Every structure is written in C-alpha cells, then in structure tokens.
Structure 1
Amino acid sequence: MKLAFDRGTIRIQGDVRVPNSTWDERSRSYRAMALYYRDILDFLKRSGFDFDDEVLDLLPCPELHSSAVLRDYQNQALDAWTANDSRGIIVLPTGSGKTLVGIKAIAQLNTPTLVVAPTLDLVAQWRSRLKKEFKTEVGVLGGGEWEIKALTVSTYDSAYIHADKLGNRFGLIIFDEVHHLPAAGYRNIAEMFASPFRMGLTATFEREDGLHEELNRLVGGKVFEKRVKELTGTHLSPVRLEKIAVELTEKEKAEYETNQKIFSDYLARINLVIRGPADFQKLVMRSGRDPGARRALLARNRARDIAYNSISKMKKLSEILERHNDGRIFIFTEHNKLVYRISRQFLIPAITYRTTGKERSETLDRFRSGVYRAVVTSKVLDEGIDVPDADVGVILSGTGSERAFIQRLGRILRKKEGKQAVLYEIVSSETSEVNTARRRKKPLKQ
C-alpha cells in the first residue's frame, strides 16, 4: 500500500478501503479528503498493514524556540490542546493573549506552521509577532504577496485558493478567528490540508447559524474556554457595565410605533415568529415576491433607525464625554449614518469601511499617543485590527450578536494598573433595542 497527497486529497493505492475514503475510477484508487490523513494513519497502524507514507512534504524548518512566558490560564489552554493530540479549539476573550498560546504551540511542536487569519491586518500582526519571537523570516500569502516559508501567515481567501498545492507542506495549521472556518468555501481549507496538528483560536465559538458544530470535524472541537467574567479583575481589567435607557421624543415614539405595528401585524398575518436568523431570512426571501413583506421589512428598518438614532441618545453621549473628559473612549454604532453624525457633532474622528488603511492607522496612532481622546466607529473595529488601549466604551446601537458584543467589550479590557473599565449601553426604552441588548450580553451571565 502507498499513501500520497494529490491536490487536497489522500490517494490510497492498494486493496484496502480505509475509513472516510471512496473509490475513484479515474485513478483506480481509493481517495479521502486530506483532512483524514491522521485518521487513516491510525487505522492502518492499528490494523497492522504495511504501507509507504508519501503524503507529507514538509518545508525545511529551522529550530523554533520561544522564550515567552505563559500565564496560568494560557498554560492550561496549551496543556488541554496537547492532551487532545495537539488538535482542537481554544476560546479566550479578546485581549487575553490567544496569539501567545499559538506561538508556544509552534515552539512545542517545532514543525512548519501555517497561520490562517481573516484580514490583512491580522496577517501583518501575526507575521510581525512571529518574526520577533522566532528570529526568522516569515512568509506571507495574501494581499498580492506569495512567499512560502516554514512559518507562513495567510488570509483565509488565499489559503482556500492554494490549499490543493500547499496542503502537505505544513505539520501544524492554526486558524485564528476560527469561527470563520465553517463558512462555505473556507471549510475546504481544513479539508484539503493534511496537517496532522490543528489549532483554532477565537473569543466567540458559537455561530448563529449553528455551523460551529462543523469545527469538531475540521479542527478537533473545543478543548479549553475561559469567559470574560473569569479573567476580569485578575488578567483583564475590572469592568463595570452600565445600561442607560433613554426616552424617545413624542414625535419619534409615534413614528416608531407606527412602523413597528406594520411589521408586527404582517408577521401575525402570515403566522411567522422571528426566533433567529433563519426565520428572518424567510421574511427576506418572501419580500422578493410579496409587496406586503417588503413593506413590513422597510417599516422594521425605519423603526430600528428611529430607535438607534434618537435625539436623547446624543444628549446622553454628550454627558458621558463630559464625565470622562480625561478618559480614552471608543464609541460603537451599528450603522455609518450615526458614526458620521457623531463625528460632525462632537468633532470626533470616525473610522468606517470607507476609511483608507493609511487614515485608519494614523487615527489609531493618534488615539494611542493621546492626541485623540475618542474615536467613533461602526463594525470595522470589531475584529481583526490591533486597537489601542481604551478604558471607556459606549455602545449606541448594535445587533443582538454575542460575538460583536464580546469583541467590543474586549477593546477596553487590557490590564493596566489602577484601571477601572466601563462600558455604557445606551438603548431606547420601549423599543426592540431592549431585548437586543439583553441577548448580546448573555455570555457574561453564563
């Protein structure tokens, strides 16, 4: 028998059918996704078969040593991953040092490693950190660059495109922000890489669509988790959450109730209860053929717009800015319309998806140095960008996403002597925002 890597698959030449393989008439051999390489090895060894293994063609690798010292919970995370045959997912809050756990795993295995990250910003951060830690050149794949080294960092998009060629060159693959991996297309990365060792890193494991269940097959399942409340006050700054309810003006309230009634009446008429994204998607699909569904969606959007952008919220924000006039403040909103309104009214620099990379870096550098004391943003800073330390966060609007909430909370939790972080949520009372705010804080109560 012989095992060989072939364009993201394992070709098995011989008379034995191994688990997870199917017959390929063209090559007259059994094939399996490269994902199952390690399982195939285990099966053949347990069964006592003689075979030649030509699957891995690992890149030449220098000695990889790390002098970094882990905190107690980071050591626990690495030990749990190691005990699970160096496979699985580690869940740690934003700002708690997930990258360092990955670095120690690389040093521990001393094998060629591919790190996969969702954004070019994260790719650059990983590359810089790895070069500094291991004192060696680090390859990069993405953003127009193609340089393959024993340590290489790639975007998810580039790893997907080149998985058939690179799937047998790395012993360890680390998926940063691993909750992206189960998405259609991206999961093929894990399936087409034969890397026997796999690590996933994230602050938020669950996906609203339930696809996180796929991670057990793709990476190895969750092996360690620490929640925000377990680390605040020790390894993360103590934090105070303050929810502030504000009243709509009479005009805003009347417009809100009118639009919300159009939406709720339509749902009642078609007997649809919105329990999650799947139910809402049904309504969106229906709007393509049903004018009533379209009117209901537009009315819902108008109602949300009123709740998100109420006059009272701006007054309350003004009070918070005055109260923390010596603080470092991040202001988060759901939509860019409110970002620009706040920026104009309070003369606060804004960061949105329209902000160029250069301008964004300059803004964050000035915030870091104290030139700017506040920055207002929509969702662009939720993930994948190295954000300076802040001690005050203000959420003026947002979805019920637990992931977005944890990411935003993490922006103010970096430990600093004497620091007391505070996160304000300003919500419009007697609107759907109240339940939305309750849903997104669920992780802190578990």
Structure 2
Amino acid sequence: MQPGPVWVALWQLLAATPGQNKRQLLAGLQRMGLHGLTTTDVNRTLYANTATFARDGATPPRWRLTGAASWNGGAVPAAVPAALPRCYVGKEPRAWQIEALAAWRAHDRRGVVEAVTGTGKTTVGVLAAAAAVDAGERVLVLVPGRELLDQWYDVLRRDLHGVLVGRHGDGHEDGLDDHSIVIAIVNSAAKYQMLPLGMSGLLVADEVHRYGAPYFARALEPDFDGRLGLTATYDRPDNGFIEHLEPYFGGVVADCSYDRGLADEILAPFRVAFVGVDFTPDEQKAHDEYDDRVRRLRRRLIVDHGCPAEPFGEFMASVNHLRVGGEGDSRAAWDARKYLDAFTKRREVLAECWNKQVALAYLAPVLATADRGLVFGETRRSAEHAAAVLRASGLQAMEITSGMNTLERKQRLAAFKDGHAKVLAAPRLLDEGIDVPQADVGVIIAGSRSKRQMIQRMGRVIRPKADGRPATFIILYVKRTAEDPDTGAHEGFLEQIIDVAQEIERFDHLTSGAALLAWHLSGRRPN
C-alpha cells in the first residue's frame, strides 16, 4: 500500500526538522499546499504510524522519525500485528492497546500503562491476562474495591473462553490453586500469599497508584514474574511511589494521552469552563478562621513535632500517626487532632459554599440539554444539596453516595443508564472504579488539586458521542482559595488539557444562565 500524501509530507518535514509538535507540523503541511487539515488529522497520521513516527514526553509531544523509518518513494510495508491470545474472544483491540501490550512485553512483562480514563486500559490488562493463561500461568488481578471486583469479573468471563475466573474479598474466597484467574480486593489479598508455591504468574494491578500504601504493598508478591500496572496517572502524594511501586513495577512503558485518544477518536472532543464564585460573609469568616488554624498548626507539627513538610501525603501520614498517640506525646496528639479537625472543616466550607449551589442552579439549563449529566462533589451533604437544587429546577436528579448499600447504588446507576434519572450527583464515589453510563456534561462543585482525580472525573464525560458533538466539563471554584486556578489549583491538569481542549473559558457565577447556556450550545453547532 502506497503511503498517503499527509504521511509523505510529515516524513519530509520531520526528516528536515525533527522535534516539531502537531501545530508546527500543521503549519508545515499548509506551506506545502495541504490545506483543510486540522491538528486532529496530523495526530491521526502520526499515531497510526508509530513504526515511522516517534514522540517524546512533552506536552504537546514533539515528533521525530524512528531509527527504522525509511522511504524511497516505493511501497511501505505494513506492520503485522501479533496474534491475539487463543482464549480471548472480546472485541478487536484498539491500535494503542496492541502497541501498549507490545511495549510491556518488550520490557520483560514489567511496567505500567498510563491511559486517560475512557480510553480502555482494562482491555490491556485482559489481553495480558489471556496471554498468561495461554502460557499456563496463573493471574492475580488486584482492585481497590468491590465495584471493580465485580466489573473485572464480568469482563473476564465475557471476554475469555474456557477460563475459570474467581474472586477474593467481599465474601468471596477463591484462590489460584484451582482458578486460572482471581480478581482480589487489595486489602484482602494483602493478608495472604495468593500465588501458590512453584507456580508462575502474572499480577495485574488496576488503579496501581493506590498500592503504594504500606499495607496494600504487601499484596505485591515478589514471586509474580509478570507485573502490569494500570492507571490514569502514575503518581502519589507520598513516598509510596518510590518505596513500593517503582521498585516492583518499574516505570511507564506505554500510554494513551488525550492527544492519542482524540486522534484515534476514542475520546470525544471537549470544552472546559471555569466558573468562579465568592463566599458569603459568614462563609468567608469561617474559611479564614479554619485556614489560619490549619496553617498555624501545620507549622507547629513540622517544627515542634517533626512531621515532614513534603510530600503532603507523608505529612498527613505522620499527622495521623501522631493523632492516635503514635509517639506517646499527648501535646503532639492534641495538635494533630486539632489540625485534622480544622482541615476537614475548611474543606467542608469550600465544598458546601452557598454560591456554588446558586451557580449550579444557573447551570440547570445546560444540564437539561445533556443526554445525561454528572455532578461531582466532595462530601455526601454537598452531593445531596446538588441533587435537590437540580430537582427544584425541574431536572430528574438523584444523588449516589457510599452510605447507600450496594443494591441501592446499582438501582440508581440503572436509573441513570435507562434515562429515568437525567443527572447523577456524587461525592468521590464516581472518581474511579464504578462503570458509569455515558454522560456528556460534567460539573465539579468541589475542586481538587489532584491531577489524577480531575482526569478521572473528566474521563466520565468524554467518551465519543454518536453525533460527534463535544463534551462539556464545568468546574466551580471559590475565588482566592486553594480551588482557584489563579492560586495554582489544577496546574497539572491544565497542563495536560490546555493544548487539546477545543476551548477553555472563564466565567463569573453572576453570569446569567442564558450566557452559560449560549456558550455550551455554541460548541455543539456544526462548523
């Protein structure tokens, strides 16, 4: 098959000047007379031909020709994909999934695959597990909770033929002595040696960033030769990454970024709006008091009681150790408890800010245009308030929280999937793990400094839409606080999306609902 004109032109541009990003390459294509193209067209060609084009880790990536790339004007041989595992009967894998699996194998079956939520990282784990079963190995899949336990169980039973799959945890006690694959909740697996002596095996760790905690790290058994981590963002706010994860798994061997997901049309294009609100006078006073208390006690915990200043996760681990009297120092325990109390109350003031609820009411017309909408909160009470505000605005909205039993949560997710509920409001429950039905508008009413949490939340709304329309992602924040992008909030998240989002807009909460609706609808009109 002859290479197309875009392929040839990109080859020529990168042969002449390596290290160009997609925008520079698009400008070069236009100079060469190839008009009517977009950066998506450029990315589609680059990512579909990774035997020829290689990228670095910059944002956006800079591209060069691979060492093996050549072209003499003749036919270009197509790469022959590796055969799928014999027991795999699932859907045809996407190109990036095949590439990720090949990269992991090339690293002696050790490493982490980092993929934006919604791109299908689970399939990489399923393919790796199927290949291991074909080779006579046993497979342990670690998951953080019962929702993922059941989801992995259903997926593996659906996509693998003739393979005995079991579960461990949440009342299940299956083992690898008589099952080819066992999905285990990490805190249950950490209590036992899961891989029988003398057997070879593969460990797949879903949401691998979670297992850097000392207790969870006990589940990372050294006798597993194959080790595959799956995550949206391979980092932690403490030393668990350095102490446990990287020594066991190694680094990232393959990824699927927003760029790749958009180029392959795995993800929907998206637009982002930040809506800033102000505290009421009483809220401002309460926030300032708690904030002052947090800062003062943090200094005391570091200077007087020896808590590490950074990373923040290690600081919090040390504070919690002192809180329960870990050092036998009653003054340290008292300071730790007062710090955690003030920290929690400051977070609650931010999460339950009255003007966020006012802004959410302004957003009701936007959510009304959605097939389905998701509202992400920080506390159960803020999720309940959000659902009530939207119901008062005439929307079919309901909350879903961890305080509900499994059956009630499943019923509400089913109602959302069937369209009986148009909007679902939840605290952190929906951030990872739960398979949420497709939504096209997401609203965050409690911001987070965690890049991973923001990526996971946005991944819930940027799955491709049948009509190609973009998703809308709206972030409410309190001005001049830790939520404000102007004070550094969302910095890592913004770095990832700033070059791939169709538009990033800023609004004040006093902006009329009509203006917000007009902005939202403008992105849905055909160009």
What TM-score comes out, normalization by structure 1 length? Answer: 0.77
Which among 495, 505, 514 is matched to residue 445 of structure 1?
495
- Residues of 2 paired with 1:301 and 1:101: CA distance? 38
Query: Residue 435 of structure 2 aligns with which residue?
Result: 386
- Residues of 1 paired with 2:486 and 2:239: CA distance? 19
Query: Any stretches of 5+ residues in structure 2 without a counterpart?
Result: 1-84, 304-308, 324-329, 392-396, 497-527
Query: Residue 118 of structure 1 aligns with which residue?
Result: 144
Query: Residue 206 of structure 2 aligns with which residue?
Result: 176
Higher mean C-alpha displacement, 125-134 vs 382-391? 125-134
Higher mean C-alpha displacement, 361-370 vs 396-405? 396-405
Query: Residue 170 of structure 2 aligns with which residue?
Result: 143
Letter in 2 for 1:173: L
Maintained 8 Å contact 2:89/2:161: no
Q: Quick check: 1:236 aligned with 2:267? A: yes
Cα gap change, 1:79 to 1:437, in 2 (>3 Å): farther
- Residues of 1 paired with 2:487 and 2:428: CA distance? 16
Which among 221, 233, 252 is matched to residue 222 of structure 1?
252
- Residues of 2 paired with 1:426 and 1:129: CA distance? 35
Q: Quick check: 1:75 aligned with 2:98? A: yes
Report deviation, 1:93.
1.2
- Residues of 1 paired with 2:142 and 2:418: CA distance? 30
Aligned positions of 1:408-423 closer than 5 A:
408-417=457-466, 418-423=468-473
- Residues of 2 paired with 1:383 and 1:368: CA distance? 18
Cα gap change, 1:257 to 1:188, in 2 (>3 Å): closer
The superposition leaves residues 136-185 of structure 1 with CA deviations (integer Å, 9 ceiling, x where unpaired) of: 23222222223341132222233323316635445322111112232223
Maintained 8 Å contact 2:384/2:399: yes
Sequence identity percentage? 28
- Residues of 2 paired with 1:216 and 1:275: CA distance? 17
Q: Quick check: 1:434 aligned with 2:484? A: yes
Maintained 8 Å contact 2:447/2:477: no
Paired residue secondary structure (1:161): coil
The superposition leaves residues 193-234 of structure 1 with CA deviations (integer Å, 9 ceiling, x where unpaired) of: x23222111112101113222323212332112333442363
Maintained 8 Å contact 2:195/2:201: no
- Residues of 1 paired with 2:210 and 2:275: CA distance? 33
- Residues of 1 paired with 2:390 and 2:480: CA distance? 27
Report deviation, 1:289.
1.6
Query: Residue 240 of structure 2 aligns with which residue?
Result: 211
Query: Residue 398 of structure 2 aligns with which residue?
Result: 349
What is the count of residue pairs matched by the alignment?
384
- Residues of 1 paired with 2:290 and 2:173: CA distance? 52
Maintained 8 Å contact 1:228/1:444: no
Maintained 8 Å contact 2:238/2:311: no
Cα gap change, 1:171 to 1:396, in 2 (>3 Å): same
Q: Quick check: 1:331 aligned with 2:358? A: no
Paired residue secondary structure (1:163): coil
Maintained 8 Å contact 1:190/1:219: no
Letter in 1 for 2:482: S
Report deviation, 1:275.
6.5
Q: Quick check: 1:97 aligned with 2:120? A: yes
Q: Quick check: 1:108 aligned with 2:157? A: no
Maintained 8 Å contact 1:118/1:155: yes
- Residues of 1 paired with 2:377 and 2:429: CA distance? 10
Maintained 8 Å contact 1:351/1:377: yes
Query: Residue 159 of structure 2 aligns with which residue?
Result: 133
Paired residue secondary structure (1:389): coil
Letter in 2 for 1:143: D
Which among 313, 316, 319 is matched to residue 277 of structure 1?
313
Maintained 8 Å contact 2:212/2:241: yes
Query: Residue 402 of structure 1 aligns with which residue?
Result: 451
Report deviation, 1:423.
1.2
Query: Residue 353 of structure 2 aligns with which residue?
Result: 310
Richer in strand (by share): 1
Cα gap change, 1:180 to 1:254, in 2 (>3 Å): closer
- Residues of 2 paired with 1:361 and 1:71: CA distance? 29
Report deviation, 1:261.
3.5
Report deviation, 1:372.
0.4
- Residues of 1 paired with 2:248 and 2:335: CA distance? 42
Cα gap change, 1:259 to 1:102, in 2 (>3 Å): closer
Cα gap change, 1:142 to 1:261, in 2 (>3 Å): closer
- Residues of 1 paired with 2:484 and 2:123: CA distance? 37
Report deviation, 1:133.
1.6
- Residues of 2 paired with 1:81 and 1:74: CA distance? 11
- Residues of 1 paired with 2:90 and 2:340: CA distance? 55
Which among 390, 397, 419 is matched to residue 370 of structure 1?
419
The superposition leaves residues 39-94 of structure 1 with CA deviations (integer Å, 9 ceiling, x where unpaired) of: xxxxxxxxxxxxxxxxxxxxxxx952446322222122111101111221111111
Aligned positions of 1:46-65 closer than 5 A:
64-65=87-88
Report deviation, 1:299.
4.5
Query: Residue 286 of structure 2 aligns with which residue?
Result: 255
Cα gap change, 1:443 to 1:80, in 2 (>3 Å): farther
Higher mean C-alpha displacement, 383-392 vs 220-229? 220-229
Letter in 1 for 2:471: A
User: How much is the aligned-residue C-alpha RMSD, in angstroms?
Assistant: 2.8
Cα gap change, 1:256 to 1:138, in 2 (>3 Å): closer
Report deviation, 1:122.
1.3
- Residues of 1 paired with 2:226 and 2:340: CA distance? 46
Paired residue secondary structure (1:315): helix
Higher mean C-alpha displacement, 324-333 vs 180-189? 180-189
Paired residue secondary structure (2:368): coil
Query: Any stretches of 5+ residues in structure 1 without a counterpart?
Result: 1-61
Cα gap change, 1:267 to 1:406, in 2 (>3 Å): same
